[in-house]
Chain A
Amino acid sequence: MNKMQKALRELAEMDELAAQNSIIHRLCPTAKLLATVLYIAVVLSFGKYQLSGLAVLLLWPVLLFQLSGIPVHICFYKLRIVLPLVLAVGLFNPFFDRAILLRLGPLAVSGGFISMLTLMLKGLLCLMASFLLMATTNFDSLCASLRKLHIPGMLVTLLLLTYRYVGVMTEELAVMTEAYSLRAPGQKGLQVSAWGSFLGQLLLRSMDRAQELYASMLLRGYHEHFHYAPMKPFGPGDVVYLALSALFFLVLRFVPAAQLLGNLLLR
């Protein structure tokens, strides 16, 4: 397997992290799901120059890493192939938005630069929050809680199967790139001219396997809906967790904490 496949594979393998046991792991998946959605909504609601306000929201994932016992480096390690993509999103902002927004001594900081950092930070925070959700919650029970929230069963099953098929796709990809590199020694990566047929093959092969997998489900009595493992009920602990998280987000959203802190320090 080459580096990229290994990275993809590891990203898909969250089950073991999710099987650990901590305060956060023990929470009801629905509470965690709602808190994460709320967090992402709050993160996205910040304006494009509100970098300092946004930065304080970093506290939540940091806290969750602490409480769940999931090492931060695993997060960055697993996200190493998606992270650059997310960070690249704002890369061109400095070229478009050249108005000077801030002077730090002799340094003039343009609006584009600030908005680039804001976008990157937003991407990073959302990724971390999603990672933490996946790393502390078994994917099946996450799907079960989506069902509880009345998301249509078809959609949820599709999500679950997509998650499962990522593994299938990466395996096919591994076999194919290996076969390719054996016949193209000394060549780095895949020649552009071969991309089309390569992608087509990958799709066909994954589809073949997906079809077999689906047949194997049907042959074992699968009929439209999944029988998810019973979920932990929504208990008092979950209420507290959700309420505290929500309060935390709202305070950080509407109280300019960074500014207050800055004023306090400068005084």
Chain B
Amino acid sequence: MIQFQNVSFAYEPDRPVLQNLSFRIAPGESVGLIGANGAGKSTLMKLLLGLRQGEGRILVDGTELNKASLSEIRRKLGYVLQNSDNQMFMPTVYEDMMFAPLNYGLSREEAERRVDAVLERLGLEDLKHRHNHKLSGGEKRMAAIATILAMEPEAVLMDEPSSALDPYNRRIVINTIRSLPQTKLIASHDLDMILDTCDRVLLMSKGQLVADGPTEEILSDRALLEANRMELPFCLAGRTK
């Protein structure tokens, strides 16, 4: 579904942020993208969405990402921003959720049906007519996810979906992520969440891919994690080498 071939990128010359990344993600896979702050996780997502251009090839469903395929590819990818405040720009949750379906040519009735279905599935019917700036942090994050699901994307990209949430809301978000059938790429340094939501992990450090494998295996490798400025997930800390 998603494929990176020797992708490199730098914001400023001589300071590479991504170096020669290659990996592929199969349809339906849940992949955690982990790494310390500044490792390049957010940048990788921006490249995948075509918000930045680097070297190398990025393919989505076998189509190479370029100017011509940009809108077609963006339509398949739903991106949940790290800061929900920057994601939602319409006054109410409902209008925000309508935004993408309307842009993609659905009629108001079809779009509204879709919005209602997503809200019902996530149990968020109460949020429908609420004002975005009056939502709590947890509600905002859930609303942002709902906004993206209303696009019916084939893959969902999330940047730090559990950041700045209290344990209760974090759990709600985790359960929601687990219930999504789409291909998922989740950037985070919340390793406990990754353990709960992903089958596979890509470990990044200073713009390079240093490990790629099953979640349990990588997240229980204390030496590997510590070498890359990360710690064992809390729930594994007690029972490993």
Which residues of A does B touch, CB under 8 Å?
Answer: 13, 15-16, 139-140, 164, 167-168, 171, 209, 212-213, 215-223, 227, 229-230
A-B interface, 8 closest residue pairs, ranked by CB to CB distance from nearest: A221-B103, A220-B100, A227-B102, A212-B86, A15-B91, A216-B87, A221-B104, A213-B89
Q: Which residues on the A side are within 8 Å of B108 (C-beta)?
A: 229-230
Can you name the residue of chain A whose Cβ is closest to the Cβ of B80?
A216
Interfacial residues of chain B within 74-114, with CB under 8 A of chain A in the complex:
74-75, 77, 79, 81, 83, 85-87, 89, 91-92, 95, 98-100, 102-104, 108
Q: Are B71 and A15 in contact, CB atoms less than 8 angstroms apart?
A: no
The distance in angstroms between the C-alpha atoms of A120 and B49, with both chains bound, is 52
- Smallest CB–CB gap between A227 and chain B, Å? 4
Q: Name B70's closest neighbour in chain A (CB-CB).
A: A218
Whether A216 contacts B89 in the complex (CB less than 8 A), given A221-B74, A227-B102, comes out as: yes
**What's the least CB distance linking A167 to chain B, in Å?**
6
B86→A218 contact, CB < 8 A: no
Q: How far, in whole Å, are A16 and B89 apart by their CA atoms in the complex?
A: 16
Known: A15-B92, A227-B98. 11 other contacts (CB 8 A): A164-B89, A213-B89, A215-B49, A217-B89, A218-B74, A219-B51, A221-B71, A221-B103, A227-B103, A229-B95, A230-B108
For residue B24, CB closer than 8 A to chain A, the reply is no
Residues of A within 8 A of B104 (CB): 221
Question: Which B residues touch A227, using CB under 8 A?
Answer: 98-99, 102-103
CA distance A146 to B74 in the complex (A): 31
B115 to chain A, nearest CB (A): 13
Q: Closest chain A residue to B106 by CB distance?
A: A227
Contact (Cβ within 8 A) B81 A216: yes
Q: Which of A209, A216, A229 has the most CB of B within 10 A?
A: A216
Answer yes or no: B178 CB below 8 A from chain A CBs.
no
CA A158 – CA B75 in complex, angstroms?
24
Nearest-Cβ distance from residue B112 to partner chain A, whole angstroms: 11
A6 to chain B, nearest CB (A): 13
Partner of A16, one of B81, B85, B131, B147: B131
- Interfacial chain B residues near A215, Cβ < 8 Å: 49, 51
Measuring CB to CB, which residues of chain B are less than 8 angstroms from any residue of chain A? 49, 51, 71, 74-75, 77, 79, 81, 83, 85-87, 89, 91-92, 95, 98-100, 102-104, 108, 131, 133, 147, 151
- Give complex CA distance A15, B89 in Å: 13
CA distance A139 to B90 in the complex (A): 11
Distance in Å: Cβ of A165 to nearest Cβ of chain B: 9
A-B residue pairs in contact (CB < 8 Å), sample of 7? A140-B95, A168-B85, A219-B51, A219-B74, A221-B100, A222-B103, A227-B103
Q: How far is the CA of A13 from the CA of B134 in the complex (A)?
A: 11
Q: Which residues of A contact B99 (CB under 8 A)?
A: 217, 220, 222, 227
Residues of A within 8 A of B89 (CB): 164, 213, 216-217
Q: A168: which B residues are within 8 A, CB to CB?
A: 85
> Is A223 a contact of B86 with CB atoms below 8 Å?
no
**A212, B81: Cβ atoms closer than 8 Å:** yes
CA distance A118 to B133 in the complex (A): 39
Instruction: Name B84's closest neighbour in chain A (CB-CB).
Output: A216
Q: Which of these, B75, B85, B92, B147, contacts A221 with CB under 8 Å? A: B75
A53, B161: Cα distance in complex, Å: 61
Complex CA–CA separation, A164 to B96 (angstroms): 13
Q: For residue B74, which residues in chain A have a CB less than 8 angstroms away from its CB? A: 218-219, 221
A219-B86 CB under 8 A given contacts A15-B131, A16-B131, A167-B133:
no
What's the Cα separation between A167 and B79 when bound, in Å? 23
Pick the residue among B77, B86, B92, B133 that contacts A216 (CB under 8 A): B86
How far, in angstroms, from A244 to B227 measured CA to CA in the complex? 77
Complex Cα distance, B103 from A140, in Å, reads 16
Chain A residues, Cβ within 8 Å of B77: 219
In whole Å, how far is A197's beta carbon from the nearest beta carbon of chain B? 23
In the docked arrangement, what's the CA distance between A227 and B112, Å? 14
Q: In the complex, A26→B92 CA distance in Å?
A: 20
